[in-house]
Amino acid sequence: MSDELEERIQTLAQWIYEARNLVVFTGAGISTESGLPDFRGPYGMWTRRDKGLPPKPMMRPWESVESNISHIAVKKLQDMGKLAFLISQNVDNLHLKSGIRPDLLAGLHGNITKLRCTRCGKTVKKSAGLFSCQCGGKLVSSVVNFGESLPQRDLGLSFEHSQRSDLFVVVGSSLVVTPAADMPREALRSGARLVIINQGETPFDRHAHLRFHENIGEVLPRAVKILKRLMGMFE
Ligand SMILES: [Zn+2]
């Protein structure tokens, strides 16, 4: 690892250590190391669609997809009491699978393993095999498709926490879709530091206080390890 990268990771760890309201924002990039396709990367679903190609077939069955070291690094932030809130564009359930507390997570685009009540907005596991909610409302897929409105609770909480954050860390999102792109803007407006860990460019690159183009798995777990030391915790 280059000294220069090591230094940036040190800075990230230091900033997380100093943060009182850390908000992490994740996109498809955090899950690519679990074997899920990215959307905007060179082999991403949308890139392929734009070229008229079908999506790459899933390498393995959905249920066998596991959280990777980067999901686990975010979970460790929660365990260390450093994670104020997690906003995710991913529907893959891998944050919850890694042990993230549901009350600390906003899933902007829903969750592939869950159904949502069209009347009260409550979500239930798809595997429960229910068709209607306790309130009598109809249960439908919780995954938000293009053009559909986002879940209000998740959206509201995301804005609230972005505005309150003093450190906003983007992980694996190109920040091109709104309202995703509105969150870092809210954070910056409130004076937060902005860190972006994403291989491709983002419209916020010139506003970022710290920028990583490296693999997420190369950066985040290492930063958490350094943070542990800063907090006087040992493995
Ligand atoms: Zn209901």
The answer on pLDDT for 234 being more than 90 is no
Distance CA 59, CA 71 (A): 19
The answer on pLDDT for 130 being more than 80 is yes
Which residues fall within 8 angstroms of residue 198, CB to CB, at 6 or more apart?
27, 29, 170, 171, 172, 173, 174, 175, 212, 213
Which range, of 63-67, 189-193, 229-233, averages the lowest pLDDT?
A: 63-67
The answer on pLDDT for 116 being more than 90 is yes
SS3 212: strand
Which range, of 63-72, 109-118, 189-198, averages the lowest pLDDT?
A: 63-72
Instruction: Report CA(176)–ligand 1 centroid distance (Å).
Output: 32
The answer on pLDDT for 132 being more than 60 is yes
Q: Is 109 a catalytic residue?
A: yes
Number of Cβ atoms within 10 Å of the Cβ of 108: 21
- pLDDT mean over 80-109: 96
pLDDT for 131: 93
Q: Do the Cβ atoms of 153 and 160 come closer than 8 Å?
A: no
The answer on pLDDT for 42 being more than 80 is no
Instruction: Report CA(85)–ligand 1 centroid distance (Å).
Output: 25
For 5, the token pair is 């990268």
The answer on pLDDT for 20 being more than 90 is yes
pLDDT for 63: 66
- pLDDT mean over 23-29: 96
Instruction: Report CA(137)–ligand 1 centroid distance (Å).
Output: 5
pLDDT tens per residue across span 136-184: 999 999 998 877 888 888 999 999 999 999 999 999 999 998 888 899 9
pLDDT for 60: 55
Q: What is the pTM of this model?
A: 0.88
Out of 71, 95, 109, 161, the active site residue is: 109
Instruction: Report CA(99)–ligand 1 centroid distance (Å).
Output: 25
What burial class does residue 170 get, using C-beta atoms within 10 Å of its C-beta: 0-12 exposed, 13-18 middle, 19+ buried? buried
Nearest CA to 234 out of 226, 159, 187 is that of 226
User: Mean pLDDT for the chain?
Assistant: 90
Instruction: Report CA(113)–ligand 1 centroid distance (Å).
Output: 17
The answer on pLDDT for 94 being more than 90 is yes
The answer on pLDDT for 32 being more than 90 is no
